[in-house]
Structure 1
Amino acid sequence: MSVFLLPIEITRDIEKSISKFWWNSSQASTSKISWISWERMAKHKSAGDGDFFQAKIGNNPSFIWRSIVEAKQLLLEGVRWRIGRGDSIQCNYPVCKTAAETIMHCLVNCPVARQCWFVVLPGKQWDDQMEFMNWVQMIFDSENKSKCAEVVMVCWTIWRARNDLVWNQKYTRINKIVAEAMQHLTQWNIAQSRVTLPSLQPIGEGDGVVVWVRPSTNVVKVSVDAAIFEDQNAFGFGLIARGSDGALITAKSVLHTHLVSPDLADALTIKEALSWIDRMQWPQTILESDCLVAVQAIRSNTPMRSYFGGIIEECRSMLKRLHKVSLFFVKRSANMVAHQLARESYNYPDRSFDGRTVPAIIQNCIEMDLN
């Protein structure tokens, strides 16, 4: 019957038969009492005042209605919201819960993402309302190839951190997000390179770490890095000393107005750091650099007849004399404060800093290492 159109008169006859069935108490009964009008009993659900989930149990409910209402909570726990086109749906980003989860907010404008970009793209400004692809194009147009690779990897790691929070209830610290991004990028670059890098044999605790670690009590940790400023025909380096509490003891930035190779710049930085440590007379010092070539060269016994080799020989000699100084190789992600200070050396040439005078951008990096 459901596939045929019935005449209205036949439909009315069917309704009359149904109503007689409900209101007759028995086949022999001739008197009929209509406890409720058929029109009210057969009212369409669209004419109701609400829906089942909003309905109340009411006064003097029947056993059937009481049983149905009792099961309402079970239905609510398993019910799902039908989104449709999503025109009126607002889903906040689960990491900060302060704004809608758009690509731009998730990867760029979220407070957590901004802290990551503060480290990777210091001083970079952009319009919060711009589209994500426009933001990416802006970065690619203004940064070199190496920095663009870092940006792509950090975006990927921010998204991984978001998924860890949503699916595994695991919160990832900001400094770990940046550290993991740099570690993955290093591994990718090595995998893509046709040149096999010599392996670094660990000689002590702290070799190859990816996150900065506080030194032990009464030990000073000195982090160093160099930066090349090709457009300005210069290079600079940053040295930063911190104690067991992670707080800044002192820092130094130096600028040289001529160009050298990156490896030579790092070797000169280590040499300057060893001289600096010697002058400061700290009882025990850990020296960390993210230049694998320089650290391996200093550790080896191979004679080097070049300007670079001469600097390496001086570093070897000072290390032998400074018995309480240990040199370690660390990943870039564990050396972000020195990296940032080296980048700032062009703005702060030949300067020394303490906790009161250190630039805010460096202090923020120090605090991120402690989070």
Structure 2
Amino acid sequence: MEDEDINHALLHCPSFKDVLQAQLSFLQKSQFQRDFAQVAAQLARRNKSSKIEKLFLGAWGLWYRRNQLIYENEQLSPEQALDHPLSVYHEYKIAAEEQNKGLMPQCRWKPPPSRVPKLNIDGALFHDQCRLGVGMILRDEGGHVIFTASRPEHELSDPMEIELLAVLSGLHICFPLGLCDLQVESDSLLVVQ
């Protein structure tokens, strides 16, 4: 039986290795898969900064999975553990590229087409209060408020899950009211995509 150190966890653990190598394909080609520090050093020597970032994001995902199990008694699959940091990384990269192009995000509300209401949703996580919630507002093309709602939520800790729950909560209010043809807008790029 192998010692459960960082090398085992990130490079050899059967429950995490396949997922990590599928997402970080450069690990499959590595001649030196025995040691995490050697993998990172080799990538640094080759000036592969984006691969180093992804390697450490994988480590962060594994640490997140461990903490969810220990402190929240929640068992995340290896896929969930790796998807979380990689999606945050992806969203950051897109925002950084837009900023480098001089494209600053627009923070103004844009009206929907005529006779199509627009549902704006958002999820919020208040770490200092150990609370989270979702909020929504439905407006017509003139910006007139049709309804607003907010509510606290429980049992979630992933920002992406909170944003998705906000969309679902908004749709659960709209559909019974017969509002099926509507636009949904979120501040989370990954939720929108």
TM-score range, shorter chain: 0.3 to 0.5
Q: Which structure shows the bigger proportion of residues in helix conformation? A: 2
User: Which structure has the highest strand share of the two?
Assistant: 2
Give TM-score, length-normalised by structure 1. 0.25
TM-score (norm 2): 0.44
Larger radius of gyration: 1
